[in-house]
Every structure is written in structure tokens, then in C-alpha cells.
Chains A and B, each alone.
Chain A
Amino acid sequence: MIDLLDFWRDSVPQLLDGLEVTLRITGVALALGIPLGLALALGVQSPTSSIRYPSLAIVEIGRGAPALILLQFAYFGLPSAGLSLSSFAAASMALAWTTGAYTSEIIRAGLQAVPRGQREAAVAVGMTHIDGLRFVIVPQAMRIAAPALLGFAVLMLQASSLCFAIALPELLSQAYIIGTNTFRYMPILCLAGALYAAICIPASLAVASIERELSRHTA
């Protein structure tokens, strides 16, 4: 028992380094992916087909292909096309794509949930289409989508463990390295799992309270 606690204590610094990478890659994926999702959500609704069809293609590929394939495509596939990315850059790109594709559907639902009258009011006061989106529709849509987006963010944190496949030194990779060196897979994976849970469970609770907060000023 003491032995196990010592093992965990010695492993913690390396796992925390991994956790930091996990948080960074998740943060980058969301910071790039959610704006992309908004752009795609607006893009798939565009009356202009030269915007709509490319947007649809990006969304369908992003949702259709497993995140693991996108990761490997970015890391192992792109170099043959002349583009070599670091594992962090490749992971950012792939996970941002996945995030963009999935969140575009969440945001699209949010856009559609804004009452029709809001659009009409923006038009009737003479705002341009862009202004109407920017000040009236998108802020309300994002509020409606926020709980689902935050829930998706928690999922992405867990999905970032897939980056282990392209040698990004995130939490799971670090645990795996320790496991390989010590052959004590079970205890180290339990500790890594506990660290994921230590982030995800409070995050889920925070999502619930943010959800209550956001519902205050809806129509």
C-alpha cells in the first residue's frame, strides 16, 4: 500500500505535465473550433451555394470521420503532401476540425431556436443582415447553445487523449510511458483516470450552474 502511494507520488509531476498539455490542446481546439463552428453554422444556412456546399463538406467530413483518423491524417498524412506539422499543431488542427464540425450543429440548432420575431425586429429597425446576426441573433443563439457547447468541451477534454496516438505528450501518453517503464499499468492508468475526472466532474457541475445563470434573460 505504502509502495503504491510512493509510486503515485513519484508519478504525479510527470502526469501533471501531461495534464497541462491536455488542457492546452483542449483549449486550442475549442478556441479555434467553436468560432469555426459558428462560421460553419452560418455557412450551411447561406443562400449562396459557393459558401453552403464547402461548409457542408467540412461539417460532414468532420463529423463523419473519427477524430483518431483526422489526427493521423494531420500528423502522418499531411507530410506526404509537403506539410509537416509538430504533433501539437497537427492535434490542434484535427481536433479543431472535429470541434468545428460538431459545434456547428449545436450552434445551428441555437440559431434556429431564436424566435423569428427577433430577426424581423432587427430588420424592421433597419439593421443590416450582418448587424442583425452580430447584435441580435448570434448572441441569443450562443446563449441557447452554451450548455451543449460546454458539455461538448468536457467531451473534447476526454477526446484529447486520442492525441496519444500521434505522440503528443498529453496526460494519457505520460501515463502510458510510465506504464511501459514500470509495467505498473493498472495503478498509473487509475491515477490518470482520476485526474481526468478531477477536471471533468467539477466542469460538468459548473456547466449546470452556468446553464441556470444564462436562462435568466431569455424571452
Chain B
Amino acid sequence: MLSVSPREERADALVSRREYVRVEGLGKSFGPHRALDDINFAVRSGEVVAIIGPSGSGKSTLLRCLNQLETQSEGSVTLAGITIDAAKPATRQQLTELRRSAGMVFQSFNLFPHMSVLRNVSLPQERVLGRSRKEADERSRALLSRVGLEAKADQYPNRCSGGQQQRIAIARALALDPKIMLFDEPTSALDPELGLEVLAVMQELAEAGMTMIVVTHEMHFAETVSDRIIIMADGRIIEEGPSAEVMRRPTTERAQRFLNAVKNR
């Protein structure tokens, strides 16, 4: 292990940065089922936060509340200056602005299968940001080359491997110049080798200073790339802190149990 990694240096500088995300008293119920309970945390600009925890602990639901794919039952979410409170319904304009500020990457990629790779990346720019076709295509090609897939621009998504599709999905989200990127188990649908190429792109993004929240089962990524780790279980945050500390010295018994289970395999 490096004693002072660039990441740790960065973490020191982070304290003074402004907050991009603040979650206060967030709760979500599906009928009688309590998916999230009293969630509070904040993410500063440039920070990379990994959310880990057992399946069904509410990680994905939390992430989906951040860009309002799910609406919370209680509490508020503030993202890039827009506050959405459970008490009053969000306006359409707020939602559009919120989603424009937050790029989302899904476990199942969700590329549009009836469009070429280039159209997948360009269409949202044209419709959401009002860029011209030419501008959008230029930006798309630049982003596709950033994720190493210029050559695939004119292919259809189903001609690409899962790892390539996920990198295209990342390019599509980046094309809207988001302030923060949300990743919902981006490598869970991929075999380990293809997962690596996606993780490499994410690491490059993190190093370039992108603010990121990553729901993941990739413990190595969580430990080495993220600045902070949040561990969730049963809809609550049970442990939160700098990555190395949380991974090596978890304080709660539940977190220890979870980390033992994922590390000893």
C-alpha cells in the first residue's frame, strides 16, 4: 500500500470544496416495506463515494432517489443546488435540471438498441441541451475516444460486448456535462475481465476530478479509487468514513460481518 496516494492528498484538499449532494432524513417505503430509513450524508465536489453493502440493503434505491427515478417518502435530496423535498412535489423544470446535472449509469446499460452508438450519445445532447447535430456528434466522438470506442461509433449496441456497452453508457451520461455521476452497480452484469475495462474508465474519471457516487460490489475499487465508503444494511447507513479506514477498521459488528464475508472469498 502506498503511504500517501494521490487520492489521499486529494482528500485533504476536498474539505474546502463545496457540497454537491446533501441528503437529509431520507426515507423510502414500498408499502409496508421500509427500503430506506433516515439516510443523511453529503458529497463534496470532486469526491468519489462508494456505497457498499449486502443485497437488498437499499443502495440502489438510495442512488435512484438522488436523481428522482424513485421519489422518497420522507426527507430531502439536494443535488447541484436543486432541493427536492418529500413534502412538496418537484416541478418538471426542477426534475429536468436535476437529471441534467446527474449522469446515471445503470447495471444493465440501457442503451437504446434501435440507434447507432453515435446516436445513443448524441440524441440526449440534441434534445436536452439543444446542441446541433454536428456539435453533438463532435462531442460524442470525442467522448467515445475517451472511453476507447471511437471505432464503434457507427455500430449498433448489440454488436458491442457488455463492457463496451457500459463504456458507451458512460459516454452518453458524460455527454450532458453532468456535475456528478451516479453509478448503479456498473460492473455487476459483466464478467470480471470486461468489468475491469469499465473500472479503468471510472478510475480515469475519478482522477480527472469527477464527482462520483458508485454503488458497487467491487471492493478493490471501493478501497483504492473512492475517497469515502458508505456501508448500508437494512435501509440504513451503518458505517461511513475514509475508504481505507472503513475497509480496515470497521467499527460496527454488522459492517465487520459484511466485510469479512466479501473479503474472505
Contact = CB atoms under 8 A, between A and B. Distances in A.
Interface of A: 115, 117-118, 120-121, 123-128, 131, 135-136, 139-140, 143, 217-219
Contact of A127 (B106, B128, B173): B128
Contacts of B112: 118, 121, 135-136, 140
Given A121-B104, A124-B102, A125-B172, 7 more contacts: A115-B110, A121-B110, A124-B106, A125-B99, A127-B127, A135-B127, A218-B113
A128 B128 CA distance: 8
Contacts of B258: none
A217 B114 contact: yes
27 contacts: A117-B108, A120-B106, A120-B110, A121-B104, A121-B106, A121-B110, A123-B99, A124-B69, A124-B99, A125-B99, A125-B173, A126-B96, A126-B99, A126-B128, A126-B176, A127-B124, A127-B128, A128-B92, A128-B127, A135-B123, A135-B127, A140-B112, A217-B113, A217-B156, A218-B114, A218-B158, A219-B158
**5 shortest A-B CB distances, which residue pairs?**
A121-B110, A125-B124, A124-B104, A117-B110, A219-B113
Point out which of A120, A124, A135 has the most chain B C-beta atoms below 10 A from its C-beta. A124
Contacts of A136: 112
A217 B158 contact: yes
A128 B108 CA distance: 22
A120 B113 contact: no
Contacts of A127: 124, 127-128
Nearest to B97: A126
B100 interface: yes
Contacts of A118: 110, 112
B67 interface: yes
Interface in B4-43: none
Given A217-B158, A218-B158, A126 B124 contact: yes
Interface of B: 67, 69, 92, 96, 99-100, 102, 104, 106, 108, 110-114, 123-124, 127-128, 156-158, 172-173, 176
B113 A125 contact: no
Contact of B69 (A123, A128, A143, A218): A123
A125 B127 CA distance: 10
B158 A125 contact: no
Nearest to A120: B69
A139 B112 CA distance: 10
Contacts of A139: 114
B137 to A, nearest CB: 16
A133 to B, nearest CB: 12
A128 B96 contact: yes
